[in-house]
A and B are shown apart, each in its own frame.
Chain A
Amino acid sequence: MPATSALAAHFAVARPRALAALTRQFSDLDVAEEAFQEACMRAIERWPAKGVPSDPTAWLILTGRNATIDRLRRDKRVVLSDKLPDGPADGEDAEMALADQIDMSELRDDVLRLMFMCCHPDLTLQDQLALSLKVVGGFSVDKIARAFVVKPKTMEQRITRAKKKAASVAERLDTPSLQERSARLDAVCTMTYLLFNEGYSASGGEEHIRIELCDEAIRLARLLLALFPSQAEVMGLLALCLFQHSRRAARLDPEGQLTPLEEQDQSLWNRQEVAEGKVLIEKALRRGRPGPYQIQAAIAAVHCAAPKPEQTDWREIERLYAALEQVQPTPVVSLNRAVALSKINGAVAGLHYLEQLSEALSGYLYFHTARASLLHDAGEPELALAAYERALQLGPTEQEAAHIKGKIRLCEGSQKNL
């Protein structure tokens, strides 16, 4: 019997938590994945007639656990702990009892551990993302391969190897200390944001798959926030992703060219996502512990608050970039601060601030496009043109290249007018 889409949706929602709990139970990702599969098969047999349990996740965890213990006992005659409960019975009372067996704080560490396994430092970033998509998100190998533009066979091998490496974390099953938990959360937030960026940046696979990567990153951020509801940086992460994602329909023009924020049609922004991002960042800032995600989300919020781009509060944005420079002192942050400065004090002021970054960012595409734009505004079309041409050499995507070439034509026009 095929799974209906409603059942599939329940399985997808339950997957991260269920797989996390099963991974702790069996200390093995493959066994956990099989256990989850088995639980889903049983749900397909049972739920259509008996109704979907009120806590599908708890049902799937306990069914998967019991079915797998039975199988392991039969196959290997492994002696397992006898403290295990009986399988889920039918009826509302049995369901309630069953849900109570799931310890929510334990489940929280389970999910964190599962995601942390996927961002094992020995794995390349792409392998970390691929493993997370496969294990936590339940993506098919084919889809992951398409997202990263590699052959399915290659992706299959890479995920298998990545799983083996990740397994070394699975053995550290005790409850993490506060510091460990915080370090894990940091790593997992970083991975989630990088996954979002993988989908958001215009490189790589097909458009609809990239949007799925963004959706998945947002789901992971939601999951983390549900598990750690007081973590201001997790709120900031989700808010930041939502703000950026809200602009997806406005980012590319009908010819598929990248539209800068200031030129975007704001009516195309997803208002529900903007509203949710705004609520989350307000909520986060109440805690008075700003971090990089919160500050970046706050910057996005200021952009969204402007009824028209020319009404953007650049002073507030400049202040926020100055704050971001404190907690995340990178040349790229300074570059953005320079752009904000130029909006307040003019292109020359921005160019002046940029000078100190020219060495650190000499190979950075957006340094040259930002500099070129400021040079153009400062009445230096020749220098601007040279900077745009340098940018073209730094591997822009097709859309970016088209955008830069348009700017070059504009500079050439300005030169003639001189």
Chain B
Amino acid sequence: MQYAILIYANEGFFERLPPDEQDAAMDHHRQLQAEHGEKGTLGAVAKLMETSAAMTVRKRGDSVLVLDGPFAETKEQLLGLYILECASMDDAIEQAKKLPQGVAAYEVRPVGWGGGTIAEEEESH
């Protein structure tokens, strides 16, 4: 089963840490990616650009609007994500714990459909 690990933090916070602490935090990421890369359980990994680079598509009235980025929030933003193949929620939580703590919060969310999870099950029926 696939689990998403969604990375939330205040934008700009990580870049404000001293370079050696940034490096140490990135080591956790590199290790997790290497571990799952070897096992073949790394579904996806992405660091997202800042929300100011984003656009939002939303229907309003009869038209579909394309809006510029989310409005200036000072709260945490989605900054990146992993999709991992994990044995269970407990296992997925263990994976999230391997990521650097104190620099971001990690939301562990089971993947409902995508990357073949449902497709594989349907095929096997």
Contact = CB atoms under 8 A, between A and B. Distances in A.
A217 to B, nearest CB: 14
B103 interface: yes
Interface stretch (B47-55, B81-89, B113-121): B47-55
Interface residues of A, number: 34
B75 A283 contact: no
B38 interface: no
Given A13-B10, A13-B12, A5 B18 contact: yes
Contact of A229 (B10, B18, B69): B69
B52 to A, nearest CB: 4
A117 interface: no
Given A10-B10, A13-B12, A226-B72, A5 B52 contact: no
B49 A279 contact: yes
B23 interface: no
Contacts of B76: 54
Given A17-B74, A99-B75, A276 B49 contact: yes
Interface string A201-212: 000000000000
Contacts of A17: 74
B73 interface: yes
A230 B51 CA distance: 12
Contact of A283 (B18, B51, B53, B71): B53
B10 A225 contact: no
Nearest to A279: B53
Contacts of A227: 72
Contact of B73 (A13, A104, A230, A276): A104
B27 interface: no
Contacts, number: 76
Given A13-B10, A58-B74, A283-B68, A229 B21 contact: no
A348 to B, nearest CB: 43
B74 A108 contact: no
A222 B12 contact: yes
A17 B11 CA distance: 13
B102 interface: yes
B113 to A, nearest CB: 28
A229 B52 CA distance: 6
B78 to A, nearest CB: 14
A369 B16 CA distance: 39
B79 to A, nearest CB: 13
A214 interface: no
Interface string B1-37: 0000000001111101110010000000000000000
A101 B11 CA distance: 21
B72 A12 contact: no
Nearest to B8: A54
A125 B104 CA distance: 38
B71 A8 contact: no
A406 B69 CA distance: 48
A365 interface: no
Contacts of B55: 283
A14 B16 CA distance: 11
A9 interface: yes
Contacts of B53: 276, 279-280, 283
22 contacts: A5-B21, A8-B16, A9-B14, A10-B16, A13-B12, A13-B13, A13-B16, A17-B74, A55-B75, A56-B10, A58-B74, A102-B74, A104-B74, A219-B12, A222-B12, A226-B50, A226-B52, A227-B72, A235-B52, A276-B50, A276-B53, A283-B55
Q: Nearest 8 A-B pairs (CB), nearest first?
A: A9-B16, A57-B74, A229-B69, A229-B68, A225-B52, A230-B68, A226-B72, A12-B16
